[in-house]
Chains A and B, each alone.
Chain A
Amino acid sequence: MARSYKYFLLMPAIAYLLVMGIFPLLFSLHAAFHSTVAGEYQFVFLRNFFRILEDARFLNTLRVTITIMIAVIAIELLIGLGMTFLLAYLKMKGITYTLTQVVLLLPIMMPPIVVGYTWRLILDPFIGPINEIITSMGFSRVTFLTIPNTALLSVILCTVWYWAPFAIVSLYAGFRNIPEELYEAAAVDGATGWRSHRYLTIPLLKQVIVTVILLRIMDLLKLFDIVFVLTSGGPGTSTEVVTLYNYIVGFKYFDTGYASAISYIVLIFSIVISTIFSRLAMGEKK
């Protein structure tokens, strides 16, 4: 009896995912091979995919997305490690520790849309507090979101603000998992404080770090909400990420074939990257 019903327990979930996960992907592939020409739906085989290679705007979105990914992950890891060391040093307990945990969690609890709107308000040249401070110190207003470089920076900082707590919490939890004895042993050998971190903590946290990087890459490839609300692609196309361009092509230009092709490329890219990293993560586990 146990034999058969263990499959019954599993089947509904699998079936659901098959219908809602695999089937749409096949459908999307089908759409990618077609295009609407002269008002008629036609089979165009790989034309949509070739078009991607020539599309300067798409290549730009790749550049933007990858830039954001690298910058965000690097900064988050730095902040994560830094805060981990800080918290380790401060050795907080009790109410302060609880408070710290709650505060660290709050940003992630905000909906990304709200994060975007709130930061847009904060960065506003005329009614935002940052410019208020800047002008009261005598400088001229900085229009953060209308200059390409600062707009990109704003997107990066906003995303970091939103997700840094995740890196901090993960790395700190990983740190707490390292047995005290190792540190005591290291102290005996003369490695305390910063040195203990450099030679002990970081190597031992490698697996956590890789996992965090993996999760963040997967999340950042999907980045949409914050960019949509903060800059809508930014001055010109300077903050246009892949998902945004994909959305525009699919739902503003209604070029479903081309949009499907783009999303397939993104999907493949995502799978490749995450497979590489998860191999790395799983490899480390041994």
Chain B
Amino acid sequence: MKPLRIFGYCILILFFFYELFPFYWMFNTAFKTRAELRLSPHVTFFPHNPTIENFVVVLRRQVTAFVTPPIMNSIIISLVSTLITLILSVPASYSLARFKIKRSDNISFWILSQRMMPPIALAIPYFIMIGALNLLDTQLALILVYTAFNLPFAVWMLKAYWADFPWVLEEAALTDGCNRLQSFFNVILPLSWGSIATVTFFTFIFSWYEFLFALILTRSRATTITISLASSILETGVEWGWISALSVICTIPTILLSIFLYKRIISGLTLGAIKG
């Protein structure tokens, strides 16, 4: 191998190291005992006595320190919000992509412009609206809000995918005697599975990560897992072991999913850049 090539690989590895180091550190800290974190004279790069006590404590606190365990809240909110997003976005994007609709370009742009909206602009109105509906600190509140944020992205992504879709297949199915609904389920959906899976992934992840609105709209009943991270900061100090353990729990699902779905994720991410 040419020396330049080796050098190139070295840079690549260094970069990987830079990107992966925080993961390593997160795992490292999650398995350390409290004593080692607080009292050890030197920072250890590997736990001396690896322990799962942080995980045990954190999971126990999920139940004792909150009215409803935040993990459960996060799962439910993310799943339901994703579901509703799909229910609303699939037909809408199908319609935009397939049919000629008056001013569809404007509509598309408007939908995309929702992405431009900084969430903070909606923070106060949402807070007041949700409060007026007496839905503060409920899962429903976050579900509604997250759907509102995910919907534009989902519509945009599906529309972009369906713009390239071979509609002749649908025409063929229609001439074969299927109605629109059957042709949708039998022909379009199977071929679009990947794209829909990508959208599902992104909307789920967005709801899973979200912090600002969870911070504003929840207190004790509907806290999500991201908020529960902050509860490891006690008056007495930051419990880094707890935070790391909770971070691991929070991140593992997405890491696993991304290992399996990486191709889809990359295509989803680059969709914007390439197709504009």
Which A residues are within 8 Å of any B CB, using their own CB?
2, 5-7, 9-10, 12-14, 16-17, 20-21, 23-25, 27-28, 31, 83, 86-87, 89-90, 98, 100-115, 117-119, 121-122, 127-129, 131-132, 161, 164-166, 169-171, 173-174, 177, 207-208, 211-212, 215, 218, 221-222, 224-225, 228-229, 242-243, 246-247, 250-251, 256, 259-260, 263-264, 266-267, 270-271, 274, 281-282, 285
Contacts and interface: CB of A to CB of B under 8 A. Distances in A.
B185 interface: no
A256 B124 contact: yes
B276 A169 contact: no
Nearest to B43: A132
B16 interface: yes
A169 B35 CA distance: 41
Contacts of B229: 113-114, 117
Interface stretch (B51-59, B95-103, B188-196): B95-103
A24 B129 contact: yes
Interface of B: 5, 8-9, 11-12, 15-16, 18-23, 25-26, 29, 37, 42-43, 45, 87-89, 91-92, 94-96, 98-99, 101, 107, 111, 113-129, 144-145, 147-148, 151-152, 155, 180, 205, 208-209, 211-212, 216, 226, 229-230, 240, 243-244, 247, 250-251, 254-255, 257-259, 262-263, 265-266, 269-270, 272-274, 276
Contact of A119 (B22, B45, B272): B22
A221 B240 contact: no
A117 B243 contact: yes
A153 B43 CA distance: 23
Contact of B37 (A23, A101, A114, A127): A127
A271 B113 contact: yes
A263 B8 contact: no
B219 to A, nearest CB: 12
Contacts of A28: 121-122, 124-125
Contact of B226 (A20, A111, A259): A111
14 contacts: A7-B95, A16-B88, A16-B148, A89-B5, A103-B16, A105-B258, A108-B269, A122-B25, A129-B43, A174-B274, A211-B273, A242-B120, A256-B124, A263-B122
